Each structure stands twice: as structure tokens, then as C-alpha cells.
Amino acid sequence: MEKKLVSITRYETPIVSVKQAVTSCGGLDLMPSNARVFIKPNIVFWTKTCAFPKWGVITTSRVIEDMVILLKEYDIEDITIGEGIVADPKDRETPADAFKTLGYETLGRRYGVKFINVMERPFKKVNLGDGISLKFNEDILESDFLVNIPAMKCHNQTVVSLGIKNLKGTIDISSRKKCHSPDPEKDLHFHVSRLADKMPPMLTLIDGIYTLERGPGFDGRMKRSNLLIASADILSADMVGAKVLGHEPADVPHLSWAAKKRNRPLDLSDVEVVGERIEDVASFHEHDFEYSSNESGEMPLPLAKQGITGLFYRKFDDTMCTYCSGLNGLILSAIRGAWRGEPWDNIEVLTGKTMKPASGMNATVLVGQCMYKANKDHPDVKKMLAVKGCPPLPKEVVSVLHEAGIEVEPALFSQIDALPGFFMARYQDKPEFDESFFRVE
């Protein structure tokens, strides 16, 4: 049996390193001549109001430009960069600011590259089997070849976020929410595992110049790793990527599902790694935040260490979609800031789609429309405090928490776009965190 080729390359020189990574694994062998090529980066979200936390969170502009130059060497003229940034679908300004800031406009002028916000483009319903249908961007489906360039990160719901997970950015809002299904069998991992199944021929080039622990967002821990992982087989690239991040593919549920569907082993026995050896470059990256559970309450470990009591803020699960999870970290930060040393009055906070209230709580905060619909009539709810929006409105979260006796600072929620800047302070003046990787000069 012919093994799948995966290359591991240290990023040392612009253009040269990407070319080495791609050619050594035969990554463009399936690309037709004169192909319409779609490049899918990872720009998971964006804010216009502060220096955005780029390192390991989003794909570097350096690798994007290097890849465009390589495609031009293959005489490819029709190149489109497309992404569906997590934002209000009606918001055109934020994606446009991202594309401009990251230098995609310059790529357009210099190389004739097009760039699109997939939320402004048509979607097509695709049957992925087993009763699952999702709506994908038509541009990517109609391309002749896909270059998938995810950032190399761990993820607090899916363990890793690499090639397969990166394709979630090509589906519409309703499909993204559908992926976070409460079905215990056809759950988030099952849905994610199918995302690559109906894609055109593809090169996966994992951008590990910067990597991320406890992703996918700005509250994770960013690292300089200087690695590229490439393959014409997306599952092989992801399995090697998981190993480099310190996680066995068998411990990543969506990779297990994808391997089962393809009748592939998870031990890399059908994969040949060229270039650097996995064991020489692997570095364990934590994928999740620790939680504490005791008689004082259930909550993230930093809150427990702070001495907070009277609050039960359960660990989020896989059913909490992107749009609630973006607010979840802010709520926790605000609660930490609101603590004044006096126990709160046995308050529980529920998120996602499946959590159920506990008996004996004096107040139950339901975050999001899904949680409200699931528990609005639950007999164990003594006092219901619900944020019913989808996604929840920040000002309504403030109102509900104040009613619960948790006096969070409203300014944190009114200036939500500035929150990443607080986390970025830890990387200030560290030369390895180089802004130039996210510009096109």
C-alpha cells in the first residue's frame, strides 16, 4: 500500500520554506493546469479597535503570500482568498478591515488575487451523508483546487484545529450552529469530521510559524514554533499536526471519525513523514482550561484560586456554538473583576444546549436562546435569569448578572472589541512576536 506523504519543514526563509514544504510532499501534484484555486486561511475573528492577537490565532500573511508566489510559478492566474470571519453576517466593515490590514488588497494589486468574505457570497446545501447537510460557500465548491492554510492550534472543544476544522469557516451561520448539535452521536466532532468530504482536490499547508495553546482565541497561550506541515491528504496532515502538538490522533474525536469513514488507521502506519521528524519538533500544547469542582462551587480554576464562592459556572460543552463562546470568556473575566470577597447567593450559570439546572440553586442564569428554550420551564429553577438572544446581547448579560447580585463592570461589555488588547499585553516587546508576519510589504 502506498503511504500518504506529509512534510514537516522548519520555516526559515520566505518563499523557499513554503516551496520546500509543498513540493517535498507532492502537494500540488493533483492541481490541474490553469486551475481556479481557492485559498482558505484561518481568520477566526477580527476586531478593528486594538492590536489584534494574531500569533497562532490566525494564518500569517507571510505564508499566504509565499503560497501565492508558488502558485504563480505554476502559471496559476485565477486565485481567490476566501474566509467567513466570525462576526455579524451583516457586518461588512470588519471583514474588509481584516483583509486590508493583513495585506490582501496588496496581494490583489501585486498578483491579481481576488479576496472574498464568504458571508457575502452564495451558499449551496451539501449532503454529507448520515442525515447531515450543511451549506457551503459556492466559490470553494466550484474551484478546481483548494489550498487550505490553517493556523496550527489546539482548541478547547475539538482538541486541535487544523485542516479539517479550518473548513468550518466556509459554511453559513445556521450550519455553524447546527454543527454544535446536542445529539450525543452526531455531535460537533461528527459534523466537523465531514467538512472535507465534498471538497475539490486539496493541498493542506498548516501554518505553524506561531502555534497556540488553549485556543482557538486570544485568551490562549501563543508560541513561536517556526513549523510548516503539508500534505495532499488532509487527514494525514491533521494527524501529523496533532502529534506535533502533543496529542495522539486517536484522542481527537473528529480525526477518529474521519479516519473511520476513510478506513484509515490512526497510528500513522500508512503515513510517510519527510523532512523533520515528529519527535524532533513535537511540543505538548494544552488544549483546554482547567476547572475546579468542590463544595464552594464549580468554575474555572483561576476563579477558584481567587477564592470565589457561591457560584456554579459549569464547564462549557461541545454544544456551545462559536457565537456564545465568544461571549463566555468575557463573562468569566467580568465575574473575576466583580468579586469583592463576599460569597454570592448560590448562583448557577448554564451555557450551550444540553445543561440542566441543579436543585438547591437560588438563581439560574441561562445564557443564550438555546439554554432558555431548553430550561425555561424546568422545575428546579427557583429564579430564572435569562439572556434570550442568539447571540446574547452584551448589555442583556450585564443586566442579568446585576440582577443576580454579580456587579460586573458594564464598560467591559460595551467595549468588547477592546478585550483582546488586555491579553496582548503579555507579548509586548517580545521580539519573537513579530508583527511583520501579518503584513504584506
**105-132 pLDDT, tens digit each:** 999 999 999 999 999 999 999 999 999 9
Residue 378, Cβ neighbours under 10 Å: how many? 13
CB atoms within 10 A of CB 260: 11
What does the domain layout of the chain look like in residue ranges? 4-287, 291-408
Mean pLDDT of 312-339: 90
Beta carbons within 8 Å of 89's beta carbon, 6+ residues apart: 119, 173
pLDDT at 425 over 90: no
Residue with cell 456564545: 324
What is the Cβ-side half-sphere exposure of residue 141, based on CA atoms within 13 angstroms? 18
Q: Using an 8 Å Cβ cutoff, are 154 and 219 in contact?
A: no
Contact 115, 73 (CB under 8 A): no
What is the spatial distance between Cα 227 and Cα 276, in angstroms, rounded to a whole number? 10
Rounded distance, CA 56 to CA 58, Å?
A: 6
DSSP letter for each residue of 320-343: S-HHHHHHHHHHHHHHHHH--SSP
b/e per residue 34-51 (b: at least 16 CB within 10 A): ebbbbbbbbbbbbbeebe
Q: What is the domain class of 4-287 according to CATH? A: alpha beta
β-pair partners for 147: 39, 203
Interval 239-274: pLDDT, tens: 999 999 999 999 999 999 999 999 999 999 999 999
Q: CA 153 to CA 397: how far, in whole Å?
A: 29
pLDDT in tens, 64-111: 999 999 999 999 999 999 999 876 777 888 899 999 999 999 999 999
Reduced to 3 states (helix: H, G, I; strand: E, B; else coil), residue 401 is: helix
**In this structure, are strands 4-10 and 271-275 parallel, antiparallel, or unpaired?**
parallel
